[in-house]
Homo-oligomer: A and B are copies of this chain.
Amino acid sequence: MSEVRTKAALAKEAAAVMNRMTTVQKNEALLKMADALIAEQAILLEANEKDIRNGEANGTSSSLLDRLKLNPSRIEAIAEGLRQVVELEDPIGTVLETFDRPNGLHIEKHRVPLGVIGMIYEARPNVTVDAAGLCLKTGNPVVLRGGSAALETNRAIVGVMRQALAETALPVEALQMIEDSNRSSVDEMLKLNGLIDVIIPRGGASLIQNVVQNATVPVIETGAGICHTYVDASALPKMAEEIALNAKVQRPSVCNSMETLIVHSGYAEKHLSSMAERFREKNVELRGCERAQKLVSWVRSASEQDYATEYNDYILNIKIVDDLDEALAHIRRFGTMHSECIVTESQENAARFLAEVDAATVYHNASTRFTDGFEFGFGAEIGISTQKLHARGPMGLPALTSTKYVVKGSGQVRG
């Protein structure tokens, strides 16, 4: 049997035991894992050093190497993340609804674990620990498949965490890591219906599209974000500038940053040049429609392809529109249903925008950068769902649960 099937089967077997674990038992395990990561940090740093050396030898980019790099303070932060998950309320076991039927049946809807979760992600070692913590806290075994660039680091991390689990009530086999770094191991995970209950991909657009296109196991799609900010005619210029600037440059590499600024023509004629100046100060390259180019001479021409691109970089499209309808149509065409914002003083336009834009999160007068589990107060997040099924937007612990109907009778049969 392949590594993937063997480990997924072990995880599946552990699911029944995980189902029975109490909140106290799960929290104890997470704290043991956190302590072990600190206590065994020499092992982690040594393994990480190998990944870094391999990366350097393979010409990996310095930004990727930086994301991969561990040091004592990063390990402390990762362990602290686990401790924070301990503080979160355990959603498992909650009774969401109860109802009694005329025939005397008593029906309860309970929150239960999702089952075996397959995580497919890239080279950030902190995802290994975050995902393990969030899945185990919600009673779910997890099969981790991280990027090959972090293989040594992830193996060391998972080894340390499994050793810690061995001293707890939780089954060690609830935490699995696929070491086969061939693409075929991902392909196999995607088709393991019956052993893996849900796949959650985290990473760039190509990783996510591979999962969505090839999985037969149910998927929670995350991540891709072509986010817009629409500055309406009545927007306050200072507020509009601060929100737009923040949405673009506070952290351009992430999914909730802005890719296209849509500006009402009335606002643009008076204020676009000053807004453009703010972006120039931050070294943001501007591309735009003809009308934007007329108002700001150094704006380059934006193609259809540009409007459809998630730059994740210091590049911004500008599109001038004559009314809210034109803005809504642009978002409908190019948005990825992630995060969309209107800056306006018109309550009527705000209400229409919030109601009509079909996205996980819609904003009135605030930066799209707030689409985040921590910013929403969830305390942690396993990802940001961009699909409409099951969970939408930042996913906290409840997104890692399912439900079960428990029916209590006294001999009822159907007539």
Residue of B nearest to A412 (CB): B366
Q: Which among B369, B377, B413 is the interface contact of A413 at CB below 8 angstroms?
A: B369
Structural contact, A406 and B362, CB atoms closer than 8 A: yes
A16 at the interface (CB under 8 A from B): yes
Structural contact, B361 and A404, CB atoms closer than 8 A: yes
A364 at the interface (CB under 8 A from B): yes
Q: A198-B388, A404-B361 are in contact. Are A19 and B411 (CB under 8 A)?
A: no
Q: Which among B218, B362, B377, B414 is the interface contact of A218 at CB below 8 angstroms?
A: B218
Query: Contacts of A414 on B, CB cut-off 8 Å?
Result: 246, 250, 367, 369-370, 375
> Which stretch from A82-90, A264-272, A352-360 is at the chain B interface?
A352-360
The size bracket of the interface on A is 35 or more
**Bound CA span A101–B370, Å:** 11
Structural contact, B405 and A393, CB atoms closer than 8 A: yes
A107 at the interface (CB under 8 A from B): yes
**Bound CA span A354–B105, Å:** 15
A98 at the interface (CB under 8 A from B): no
A390 at the interface (CB under 8 A from B): yes
Among A392-410, those with CB < 8 Å from B are: 392-394, 402-410
Structural contact, A405 and B360, CB atoms closer than 8 A: yes
Tally of this chain's copies: 2
Structural contact, A365 and B410, CB atoms closer than 8 A: yes
**Bound CA span A9–B112, Å:** 37
Residue of B nearest to A414 (CB): B369
A15 at the interface (CB under 8 A from B): yes
Query: Contacts of A355 on B, CB cut-off 8 Å?
Result: 19-20
From residue A275, how far is it (CB to closest CB) to chain B in Å? 14
A332 at the interface (CB under 8 A from B): yes
Structural contact, A361 and B20, CB atoms closer than 8 A: no
From residue A12, how far is it (CB to closest CB) to chain B in Å? 9
From residue A213, how far is it (CB to closest CB) to chain B in Å? 5
From residue A382, how far is it (CB to closest CB) to chain B in Å? 14
